[in-house]
Amino acid sequence: MPGDGLSEFDAVLAIARRGSFRAAALELGLSATALSNLIAKLERRVGVRLFNRTTRSVSLTDAGQTFVEQVRPAVRTLHDAMSVARSQLETPSGTLRINAFAAGAREVLRPLLLKFIRRYPQVHIDLVTEGRIVDIVEAGFDLGLRSADLVPSDMIAIPVGPPRSFAVVGSPTYFEVNGEPFVPPDLMRHACLRIRLPNGALHRWQFQKDAESLQVDVHGPITLDEASLARMAVLDHVGIGYFMVSDVREDIEAGRLVRVLQDWTPPLARLSLYYPSRRNPSAAFKALIDMAREVG
């Protein structure tokens, strides 16, 4: 944002989008004081207050709401115009913002993103992971990463990453003591790690074989919402876990974990890197898209 001539407008839009000065300051890479000064300067210029501010909340005034609605498309057009100019650079540079879910980010980090920044050291990748699906244009991202079946229909999508599936795993020690499940209902007799989804709901383990589909509401000693924590618990013989294969592949290959019910966990939709149509993408954007197609 610094130096682009649109800092005050970007600040207003970020606060309106986030509903918080602090969250907007973090997004823009500014201090809360600097952000407040930008808004105060703009309010003096336009002669009206744009935000109602208390110690607990921030909301747009009526004038602020009208201002945001009129300014948002103009600011987007101006940013696009500057992107056109920057696209003339021969060497990819600048920042690319990518929104992804955590498991997908782990799958493409090494084969795509780390490879990309080694090849183009003047490009900075800002990778944000979250469970909910966001409007990447509205939220200010250049690209999104989701399962192909979740990509909005108006986006351009590029398949990336290896084939994907879930894996049900436990430690050799756990299975020596408790035996292995042979069909999904057998899990009800085992200690299983429960999974909490981003929306707070408990995840039912999903299985499919031929034309039969099952969901199992497992039970166990602990509920977790992060794959790395669940992996630690399974490796410590606490119970059986349900993971993306990519999160436990090395453990399976090394014999630290044993995969079961593999015939009940068929391939999933591939990951896709997606973005809105762009007539004049930056050199960095084009380079990442080219590499995604190369490694996909």
Structural domains of the chain ordered from first start: 7-86 (1.10.10.10), 94-161+270-295 (3.40.190.10), 166-264 (3.40.190.290)
pLDDT at 3: 46
C-alpha closest to that of 215 among 196, 224, 202: 202
Beta strand pairing status for 58-60 and 123-129? unpaired
pLDDT at 185: 96
Indicate the SS3 state at residue 136: coil
C-alpha closest to that of 109 among 253, 246, 269: 246
Q: Cα(222)–Cα(69) distance, rounded to whole angstroms? A: 47
C-alpha closest to that of 203 among 266, 134, 131: 131
How many residues make up the chain in this entry? 296
pLDDT at 53: 84
One-character DSSP codes across 122-165: TEEEEEEE-SS---TTTTT-SEEEEEGGGS-TTSEEEEESS-B-
Q: Cα(206)–Cα(264) distance, rounded to whole angstroms? A: 9
Region of 121 please: left (phi>0), alpha (psi -120 to 50) or beta. Answer: alpha
pLDDT at 1: 44
Mind listing the pLDDT tens digit of every residue in the chain (296 residues)?
444 568 889 999 999 988 889 888 888 888 989 998 989 999 898 899 999 887 778 899 999 899 999 999 998 888 887 776 766 566 788 899 999 988 889 889 989 999 999 999 999 999 999 888 889 988 889 999 999 988 998 999 999 987 889 999 999 999 999 999 999 999 999 999 998 887 788 889 999 998 888 999 999 999 998 889 999 999 999 999 999 998 999 999 999 999 999 999 988 888 999 999 876 788 899 999 999 998 87
- Give strand pairing partners of 126: 97
Tokens of 281: 């993408």
Q: Where are the alpha helices (DSSP H) in the chain?
A: 7-18, 21-28, 32-46, 62-86, 102-108, 115-119, 172-178, 227-235, 245-254, 283-295
Q: How many CA atoms lie within 13 A of 89 on its CB side?
A: 19
pLDDT at 94: 87
Integer CA distances (angstroms), 105 to 132, 176, 295, in order: 14, 34, 15
Helix axes 62-86, 7-18, angle to 10 degrees: 120
Beta strand pairing status for 156-160 and 223-224? unpaired
